[in-house]
Amino acid sequence: MSATRFPTYFLSHGGGPWPYMKGPMRENFGWLEQSLQDLPRQLPERPRAVLVVTGHWEEDAYSVSSSPAPGMVFDYYGFPEYLYHIQYPAPGSPALAEHVRGLLSDAGLPAGADAERGFDHGTFSLMQPIYPDADMPIVQLSLRHGYDPDEHWRAGQALAPLRDEGILIVGSGLSYHNLSMFGPAGAVPALQFDGWLRQALAAAPAARREALMHWAQAPSARQAHPREDHLMPLMVALGAAQDDPAVCVYGERFMGAAASSFRFGADRTPTAFDRLAA
């Protein structure tokens, strides 16, 4: 057991396999990359493993990746051929996967294990800048069909003990995810939703929870998230965070819109990577 409690995170993971891109497109992700490279410095110690709640995997019941050596899931389209042969060879952890499954089941939430599931780009594109040596054990947790925010919050609550066991919990999504409205068309809706999200996360615990349970009533909510797959990992991270405060650890106008990432717990000091701070 760790001597210290780990924070939880909701991280905007960027687009596609961006850490492996070459050429001008790669430069769009420089600020995001710097913010992710800073993350290990923010932790009280090196984790034993990372649990990634990925917005790119959903099942009828929560599912946990249990392979000791996960492969790759190339769940993106229209990229150059070489980006379908990349590898992020981090190990899995069957023992952690079973522990996660047990915690969810004990909380009355349906959960199973998947020994075939590989790393999707919500995981490997996020983790490559954080642990470029691919030596950190990683287990993935799916979302559940239906996107019930309260249930995903409760899933996070069930997983909160992991924070005292040396496990880093990361929700991987995007604070703005409307593929048809990146660029100028998405600039105003993204900023409106981002401003609401920051205010909601800064509220007292009860008010924060109430706001997030009714996120669809926020300004430009459905323009920011026509489908909430990239927002639900935040609910899990918040449930695991319990009453710990939020701090923004990344923010910028991303591909013409806006994107932010947040840490819950541990050091409250803002990082130097928020370009959207008022």
Distances (CA, A) of 113 to 117, 126, 174, 201, 270: 9, 22, 25, 32, 36
Q: Which ranges in 89-226 belong to alpha helices (H)?
A: 94-106, 121-130, 149-159, 184-201, 205-213, 221-224
Question: What is the rounded distance in angstroms from the CA atom of residue 57 to the CA atom of residue 46?
Answer: 26
Residue 20's Cα: distance from chain center in Å?
19
pTM: 0.96
Handedness of CA 131, 132, 133, 138 (dihedral sign): positive
29 has pLDDT over 90 = yes
Q: Look up residue 274 and give its DSSP letter.
A: B
Summarised one tens digit per residue, pLDDT across range 68-113 is 999 999 999 999 999 999 999 999 999 999 999 999 999 999 999 9
117 has pLDDT over 60 = yes
Summarised one tens digit per residue, pLDDT across range 184-195 is 777 888 999 999
Higher pLDDT, 25 or 245: 245
Average pLDDT of every residue of the chain = 93
Q: What is the model's pLDDT at position 38?
A: 95
Summarised one tens digit per residue, pLDDT across range 202-240 is 999 999 999 999 999 999 999 999 999 999 999 999 999
Contact 79, 86 (CB under 8 A): no
Pick the closest to residue 193 from 170, 172, 177 (CA basis). Answer: 177
Q: Which domains does the chain have, with CATH numbers?
A: 8-264 (3.40.830.10)
Q: What is the model's pLDDT at position 13?
A: 93
